[in-house]
Amino acid sequence: MKHVLARNKALQWTKSYVLPEFPYDVKCMLAEQKCPDHSMRIRIIEFLQADMTKYLEGSLYPSTQQYNDVVNALLQAHPFLDEDGCGFFLWKRALKDRFKYVRRPIEDDEQVMRNKCKFGHRRGQTKKSLTDISFDEVKIVQIKEETVCLDSEADEHINWFQQEYMKTEKDWKEIDKRMSQTLEIRRKLIGSRTPLKDILKMFPFLKCPYQMFREFQLLTRTDIYKKTKHILESYSENILTSFSVVDNPINIALQEKMKQHTDEDMLKHMKMTATCLLLPDVFGDDPSLFVIVNEKVQVSTPVLEVKNPFNVDVCEFSLYLEKEKLTRVDDCVTALAALIAAFHVFGVECPRRLSQTLNFLETLIFDMHSPYFPSMKEKLKEVGFQHPVT
C-alpha cells in the first residue's frame, strides 16, 4: 500500500524516485536475484522508460540527472544488478538507447524536431526530400551531455594502449582487462562528441574487430559474430531467391561464379557473401549506405568496402567510418558483424534509408520484435521470402 500511495503522488520528479511495479515474471527474477538474460533486461528497461515518460508528462527527453536517479533507484533496490561494479553505466546506457529507439519512428514530432534543432541536427531547416539529402548529411549522433575529464588513471591506461598497440606481440589478456576498466570513460567520450580520430588515438584497439565485438558484448550482452553467422547461414537461400534480387547484377555474377566451383564450403562462402551484399536491395534500402563494391567510399556512416567479392584468392572486406578505413577483415561474416557493431560502439545514428535493413538484422540479433515496424514475418512476405525453419 505504501508503494502504491507513493506512486499516486503528483507526477513530479524528485531524487527519491520510486520504482514501478514490475510484471510478475520480472519480480520473480528480481526476488531470486538471478542475473537477467537479454530479453529480461529489455523488459526491465522498457518498463522503466514507460514509467519515466509518465513522470515527464510524455516527454521523451529525460535529463542526465533523471537517468541517474532511475538507475540509482534500480541498483539500490537490487544491488546484484550492479555487475562487476559497472552496472550503473550499462543500465543507464540501455535506458538512454531505449529512449532513442522510441524517438526514432516519430522524427516529425514537434518536440523531437525541436530537440534535433537544439542539438544541431537540422538547425530549423525545412525537411528535405530523400533526393536532396547528400551522403555527408548523415552524421554521427552529436548530443553533448557533460564535459569529460580524464583522470590520471585513465591517462595511464591510454598511454599503455598506445604503447602496446605498436608492439608486434601484444598482451591480449591485459588489453581485455584494461578495455573493461576504461569502458565507462570511453562511452562518455563517445557520447560527448569527441572526434573519432581522437577516440581511436586513445583506444586504438577499437580498430580490431575482436575488440569491437567485445565492446558490443559488454554493452548488449550479445555475441554479435555468432548471431551474424547464424543469420547469413539461415537466410542466404531465401534472400538469393527473393524476386527483388533475382535479376540483380550481384546475384547474376554469383550464379556465373558458382558454375566454376564444386567445393561445398566455397559455394557456401560465396552465397553468404552475396547475401551480405544484397540485404539492402531485399528491404528496399539504399545499398550505397551499406556496402560499396569495387568503388570509392563516399559516405560518413559505417559502410563496407568489398573488392572482388567472389574471387576467394583476392577478395577484400574493409570497414569504413567517416570515409576512413577502420579495419580490414577476413570474411563476410566478420565484415557484417563489424558493420553492425560499429553503429553501436561508435554511437552512430542509423540512416533513414538503411533503417529497414538494420532493423531486420537487429531484431534477429537481439531476439526481439519491434513495435514500430511490421512483424518480421509480414515484412519478409512483402519482399518475397519466408522465415527459414531453424
Identify the band that residue 289 occupies on the pLDDT scale cut at 50, 70 and 90.
very high
Distant-in-sequence, close-in-space partners of 196: CB < 8 Å, separation ≥ 6: 140, 321, 322, 324, 346
Percent of the chain with pLDDT over 90: 25
0.75 surpassed by pTM: no
190/239 same-domain check = no
43 has pLDDT over 50: yes
238/365 same-domain check = yes
More confident residue, 156 or 309: 156
In a domain, 350, yes or no: yes
Residue 219 · residue 344 · CB < 8 Å = yes
User: End-to-end distance of the chain based on CA atoms, in angstroms?
Assistant: 47
pLDDT of residue 62: 83
Amino acid of residue 134: S
Residue 295 · residue 323 · CB < 8 Å = no
In a domain, 232, yes or no: yes
98/146 same-domain check = no
Q: What is the mean pLDDT of residues 6-18?
A: 55
153/236 same-domain check = no
148/26 same-domain check = no
238/157 same-domain check = no
In a domain, 390, yes or no: no
pLDDT of residue 148: 59
The segment with the largest mean pLDDT, out of 5-9, 77-81, 100-104, is: 77-81
134 has pLDDT over 50: no
238/377 same-domain check = yes
In a domain, 159, yes or no: yes
Examine the fold and report which residue of 185, 219, 253 is the final residue of a domain before the chain moves on.
Answer: 219
321/344 same-domain check = yes
Give me the number of domains the chain comprises. Answer: 3
Q: What is the mean pLDDT of residues 34-50?
A: 82
Identify the band that residue 86 occupies on the pLDDT scale cut at 50, 70 and 90.
low
207 has pLDDT over 70: yes
pLDDT of residue 10: 39
pLDDT of residue 122: 45
Distant-in-sequence, close-in-space partners of 92: CB < 8 Å, separation ≥ 6: 67, 68, 71
| CA–CA distances in Å: residue 8 to residues 14, 18, 103, 186, 212 | 14, 10, 27, 39, 44
Q: What is the mean pLDDT of residues 232-257?
A: 83
227 has pLDDT over 90: yes
Q: What is the mean pLDDT of residues 180-189?
A: 89
Examine the fold and report which residue of 118, 143, 160 is the final residue of a domain before the chain moves on.
Answer: 118
Strands of the sheet with 324-329, listed across from one edge:
291-293, 303-307, 316-321, 324-329
137/244 same-domain check = no
Domain that residue 100 falls in? 2-118
365/312 same-domain check = yes
Examine the fold and report which residue of 219, 251, 284 is the final residue of a domain before the chain moves on.
Answer: 219
Identify the band that residue 12 occupies on the pLDDT scale cut at 50, 70 and 90.
low
In a domain, 322, yes or no: yes
Give CA–CA dist 58/345, Å, rounded.
29
Identify the band that residue 9 occupies on the pLDDT scale cut at 50, 70 and 90.
very low
pLDDT of residue 132: 39
pLDDT of residue 40: 81
In a domain, 276, yes or no: yes
85 has pLDDT over 70: no
Mean pLDDT is lowest, of 87-96, 135-144, 280-289, 292-301, for: 135-144
In a domain, 158, yes or no: yes
145/277 same-domain check = no
260/369 same-domain check = yes
In a domain, 148, yes or no: yes
